[in-house]
A and B are shown apart, each in its own frame.
Chain A
């Protein structure tokens, strides 16, 4: 079982809809990342958070450390939001080193 589980695996929405992608993890973490990967392959970091909530434009990320759960919300979704959204958690890998463990990603398709 992967240490990081995302749901849903695939999500199709109509333009304008409110979207939620969930991430659950089973290990102690120091931070959680939400990443966006477009079909070309490149990855862009959307958020890094260790508590509470962050907002950037139409994107909102929340994390509940006690429940080991994070959500990524997209308001007023647009076709250009279509991408794979990846949750990654930063865990201590030994000594002072850290390691990112990734979820499998959620493929979001927003139709016009």
Chain B
């Protein structure tokens, strides 16, 4: 248990659905991240939030929409996804977006049908 909790753990959605992934941490961290892990590829950074402000959007398509209402919660809203978006989506947090250790959630395994 790393202190970062992601829900749901598994999600199957159609291409016309709208769903949201949730991440929360109560570690007192101020930076939160969304990563995508596709089969046979390295982890890819999607978004970074520092103190609730988005500081990085790594050229992610607009069908992925992040939301960070406070430093403890991070959402990833999904709509009109494509089958190639099927992947493991990992949330992480760290004290600051700097040289500090990141703590990862268990991930949400997303399948788009």
Which residues in A have some Cβ–Cβ distance to B below 8 Å? 2, 4, 30-31, 33, 35, 40-45, 48, 50, 86, 88, 90, 93, 96-105
Known: A97-B55, A102-B42. A42 touches B105 (CB 8 A): yes
Give the distance in Å from the alpha carbon of A102 to the alpha carbon of B88 in the complex. Answer: 15
List A contacts of B44 (CB < 8 A).
Answer: 102
Can you give 21 A-B contacts (C-beta < 8 A)? A2-B42, A30-B99, A31-B99, A33-B101, A41-B106, A41-B109, A42-B105, A42-B106, A43-B92, A43-B104, A43-B107, A45-B101, A86-B43, A93-B56, A97-B50, A98-B98, A99-B45, A100-B43, A100-B45, A101-B42, A102-B43
The answer to whether the Cβ of B51 comes within 8 Å of any Cβ in the partner chain is no
B contacts with A, residue count (CB < 8 A)? 27
**A2 to chain B: closest residue by CB:** B42
Q: How far is the CA of A98 from the CA of B55 in the complex (A)?
A: 10
Main SS at interface, chain A: strand
Contact A88 B99 (CB under 8 A): no
CB of A96 within 8 A of CB of B42, answer: no
For B43, the closest partner residue in chain A by CB is A102
- Whether the Cβ atoms of B107 and A41 lie closer than 8 Å is yes
Q: How far is the CB of A1 from chain B (nearest CB, A)?
A: 12
